[in-house]
Structures are given as structure tokens and as C-alpha cells.
Structure 1
């Protein structure tokens, strides 16, 4: 079967979701009594998730209508946006959650008790971040908030199972518990994205639509699989069975950047992750990612990432 047919595009997206890896930043089990309100600060390159286990609450984001959450609902805020949680739709903004006194069970997990003495709500909240280049591209393509309702039985069932396992790991901390919770957060985020995609098959413009495109998706996956190959516009267009001009126009229309600019960004995101997490060098990465010289690699890295490779390596 020629890549690009509907079954192949589904497999392509499944492969992307399979490889997503997040880094846990923080988890919180919140016990809240009415009246209450909390501010969630903006955290760049992160995803916040909130699962209501008891009661109701309202989620408010800038330039969006407030949304009520009920027990069993999951809300995912993909773009690191600051937002509010409150007991009522019209509650005044509350204090920043990270400035409130909390019971820290571990460095990355706390129990927060806040608010009045009336009807209570309980939430499991988390903040995860990502270095993976596929995760970065996927997050750019998502809306400002994703909801998975507790009444969406097929999706909610698997999400509830994941949350139950996560709650068990976090409520009784033991060696390795945070590592398990991090993997479960990976699963939870992917489950939420899958549920959103299942209910929104027409993903509009952006990276997801490009991945689904019969011709452009084939070229994208080639870049992802072999980022260090000596790709040119002509070679990528040949993979897509298109002329160079038609391929470049279509690629840019879907992804928002030209093909070679996308290739460069993908390479630099890989390099950034590896410099942060591995004992590697700019010279080695330059060779592996298809650059003729370390100087050319350094210039591209600094232009895309905003810091030199040496700066990122020292931060590691």
C-alpha cells in the first residue's frame, strides 16, 4: 500500500503519539471548599491538566468562554497559558497556586487545602513539559484547551483507569513512585489528545493536517525518521511526487513554514534535547544532523533556539 492512504495517515499519527515523551514538573492533589479561586501561572513549553474527582468547578482562560467541569471531567491546557480555576463562574481571581502554603509530600508533589467550609471539590492537577520535537509540533497544532467529559464512556474509562493508578502512586509515595507517575502522565496526555482527535477528525490547518496529508505527510515522516540525511527541496518534493513549487507552497500552507525551515527547526529541537539530556557535543551533533561544519550548526542552533549550544550544554 502506498504511504499516504487513509490507513497510512492513521498509522503515521499513531507512531507520533507512541513516541511522545513528557517531563513531569509538578503534581498537586487539591482539596477545595467553597468559596475558592486559584490562579495557575503561565509556564512556557508546558501542558497543564486538571481532573475533577469530586464536586464542580469552573475553568477560565483569556479570550475564551468559562467552562464548567464536573466529576470525572479532564481539562488539558496545552500551550503553557495562565488560567483560573474557581468554584463559580463569576468568582474573583484567587491567589497564585504556587504561592499558597501546601503539604509537600515530595519535591514534585503536594497536597493543597484551600478555601471556605462549604461544599468541597477535589482535583488532581499536573504540569508536564516536553523536549521531544514531535511533542512541540503537536502542541502547536492543538487548541487552547481540550476537554474530555466524564460521560464520554470509551475515552473516560481508560482515563479513569490511568488516574486511579496515578493517584495510588502519588498518595503513597515510595521509591520509584514519581517515575511511574511521570509515565502515567505521558499516557494521560496522549489519551486526552486521542480522545480530542477522535471527536475532531477535521483538525483544520496546521501540523496535524500536514501529517494527515497524503503527499506532505509522507515527506514529513521522512524528515522525522532521517533528520541527518542531506535533504533538499528537490528530494523532498520527489518523495511527495510533486513539483518543487507545488510542494513548497502546499507544505508552507499546512505547516506555516517552508520545508527547509521546518527541517532546520526539527533538527535544532533534536539537538536542544540531546544537549540538555546527554553528554554530547556540538561537533558530534553537527555531523549526525547533516551539517558540513560545526560553525554552520552553531549558527543555525543559536538562531532557532536563542542560545548557543555551549550555553545549553553548561545548563545540563
Structure 2
């Protein structure tokens, strides 16, 4: 699925107001953004990207290009300053718009790595592809994208580190832009905009180790248990306690990468009464044991 938002016109659905709960989610996003290529093309060109196990994005620095993908119903034209994101690594092709040899295009390309691709709410909430148009973005986004292009073209020491940090901020702004333009009344971003459900989501994000119960969450939302359960499931498409479990497992995957923390301390931090209970639940939900997460992380560092 591809989603592109343009300014609301006439009777178009109004974007949902994004509550501060989005900040609590982004602060725990467990996302790593890496710039992997800075490309310069002229004349007729194309670049094929196969399916990846991570997300991909391309910022058009100068010039213009078009992008095609099975996730799109038609080719999209991209201008300087536009950002196209494939959060799930869907295959796509970038190419020149014309054969004009005088036309030059530059791209800054990067990868998005969630520490928990299967459990993190954002990995489920984002579509196969979305675009942030420079013409519709706010001044902060445009200024940051311009800064990235300037840094990419500079000879600054530490340029790669600077680009990675700028890209991390740019992607955060892209998610905020996407969320603020949402008109879908179901899903994570709709729940974050719900004045009652967002209180619960924010609390769960910030304190996953709390002894969460249906009654506790319903009280926080100022709703009856039945009304809360129905509203939460309507928006999030899963029951409240299942969301709590998935968030805890997502947090656990990040914590397991810190070798200074024992599995027992992580279990306690996330509200589990015993290490054994935590290990069983973690494997049931994620499909792998906690030790496998640590070995995968070690393999990544060695490579």
C-alpha cells in the first residue's frame, strides 16, 4: 500500500490531531538510521533496489527522478527535497524522468533498522511506501533536508556520522508529517489521536513494567472496561493486553542488546515475576529465545 498526503481541500477528511503519545512512541522507537550511499546521475539512468530486510529511503538532493514499485499503482515523480520511504524494504526502481543529458540528479540513500521489526508498533503502522513532499512539508523538514545535502557535498570531518544523525532526525520528522496528515480512523496513528486511548498508550510506552490490567487501563482512559476494550480493539485491531505484551517484547529486544543487563533483570524491569516466565513468553511471541537476540547482535557488530 502506498500513501501520499496532500493539503486538505474542500470536503476532504480532516487530518487527525496527533497527541503527545506519539512522542512517547518515538522516544522508544529503537530505530537506527544509516546513510549508505550518495549518488549522482546525469542523462538517462536507473537504479533497481531488490527487497531488503530493512527499510529504505531516498532523499532527492538536486534534480528530479521517478520511482516505480509493486507497492505503487503508478510511477511517482520526485523533485529536489522530496523524501520517499519504503519502511518494509519493498523492491523499487528509481530512474531519470527524461533522457536529457544536461539534467543532473543527486540522491542520498539510507537504511532503517528497527531493533524489533516484528513487534514494534511503527513497523506495523507504516505503509509499504510514503512520500514527504518538500512543497508540502514544514520549514524544519525543508531546512534539515537542505542541511543534509550541504553536509553530503562537504569535506567535513565526521561527515558520515553527521549524516546519520541528521537522517535519524529527518526520519522522525517524516513520521510526524505522516501522522499529522493521517485521515484513517483506524490504526496506531488514529489511536494516538484519540483523547482517551492515547493516555493509555503513552503510559504503557513510558512504563512497560507496570502491572497493567484491563481495569487499570480502563480507569486511566476514564472508561468502563467493556467500552475501553471495544474502543481499543476497534482502533488498534488487537486487544489491549496483547498490545502490552507486544510492546514489552519489543522493549526486551532492545534491552537484550545491552550485555550489561542480565535476562533476569530485564524480566523484572518489564514486569515479569520470573526469568523462566519471561523466557517462555518471549519465545512464544517472537519465535526465538532471548539468547538468540544477543548472538544476532554480536554477529552484526563483528560484521
Question: 1:162 is matched with which residue?
Answer: 144
How far is the alpha carbon of 1:189 from its aligned partner?
Answer: 0.8
CA distance in 2: counterparts of 1:219 and 1:160, whole angstroms: 33
For the structure 1 residues 34 and 277, does the alpha-carbon distance in structure 2 shift closer, same or farther, using more than 3 Å as the test? farther
How far is the alpha carbon of 1:118 from its aligned partner?
Answer: 6.0
CA distance in 1: counterparts of 2:78 and 2:227, whole angstroms: 45
Alignment partner of 1:36 is 2:39: no
One of 210, 218, 231 as aligned partner of 2:191: 210
- Match runs of 1:233-312 below 5 Å: 233-312=214-293
CA distance in 2: counterparts of 1:18 and 1:308, whole angstroms: 26
How far is the alpha carbon of 1:140 from its aligned partner?
Answer: 2.2
Question: 2:61 is matched with which residue?
Answer: 53
Farther-moved stretch of structure 1 (164-173 vs 294-303): 164-173
How far is the alpha carbon of 1:201 from its aligned partner?
Answer: 4.5
For the structure 1 residues 56 and 88, does the alpha-carbon distance in structure 2 shift closer, same or farther, using more than 3 Å as the test? same
Q: Deviations over 1:86-131 (max 9, x none)?
A: 2249xxxxxxxxxxxxxxxxxxxxxxxxx99563322111112222
Question: 1:180 is matched with which residue?
Answer: 162
Alignment partner of 1:146 is 2:130: yes
Extract unaligned runs of 5+ from structure 2: 1-16, 299-303
Q: Deviations over 1:143-167 (max 9, x none)?
A: 3322222323x52x43342234334
Number of matched pairs: 280
For the structure 1 residues 123 and 193, does the alpha-carbon distance in structure 2 shift closer, same or farther, using more than 3 Å as the test? same
Instruction: Give the 3-state SS of the residue equivalent to 2:20 in structure 1.
Output: helix
How far is the alpha carbon of 1:241 from its aligned partner?
Answer: 2.2
Runs of 4+ with deviation above 6 angstroms: none
CA distance in 1: counterparts of 2:116 and 2:153, whole angstroms: 29
Extract unaligned runs of 5+ from structure 1: 1-7, 90-114
What value does the CA root-mean-square deviation take over the aligned residues?
2.8
For the structure 1 residues 44 and 288, does the alpha-carbon distance in structure 2 shift closer, same or farther, using more than 3 Å as the test? same
TM-score (norm 2): 0.81
How far is the alpha carbon of 1:19 from its aligned partner?
Answer: 5.3
CA distance in 2: counterparts of 1:301 and 1:175, whole angstroms: 42
- Match runs of 1:99-118 below 5 Å: none
CA contact under 8 A between 2:30 and 2:254: conserved in structure 1? no
How far is the alpha carbon of 1:262 from its aligned partner?
Answer: 0.8
Q: Deviations over 1:62-96 (max 9, x none)?
A: 1422111122222222222221112249xxxxxxx
For the structure 1 residues 159 and 62, does the alpha-carbon distance in structure 2 shift closer, same or farther, using more than 3 Å as the test? same
TM-score (norm 1): 0.78
How far is the alpha carbon of 1:266 from its aligned partner?
Answer: 0.5
Farther-moved stretch of structure 1 (78-87 vs 163-172): 163-172
CA contact under 8 A between 1:9 and 1:214: conserved in structure 2? no
Question: 2:121 is matched with which residue?
Answer: 137
Question: 1:231 is matched with which residue?
Answer: 212
CA distance in 2: counterparts of 1:181 and 1:84, whole angstroms: 23
Instruction: Give the 3-state SS of the residue equivalent to 1:204 in structure 2.
Output: coil
Instruction: Give the 3-state SS of the residue equivalent to 2:171 in structure 1.
Output: helix
CA distance in 2: counterparts of 1:150 and 1:9, whole angstroms: 21
How far is the alpha carbon of 1:267 from its aligned partner?
Answer: 0.5
For the structure 1 residues 150 and 230, does the alpha-carbon distance in structure 2 shift closer, same or farther, using more than 3 Å as the test? closer
How far is the alpha carbon of 1:169 from its aligned partner?
Answer: 3.9
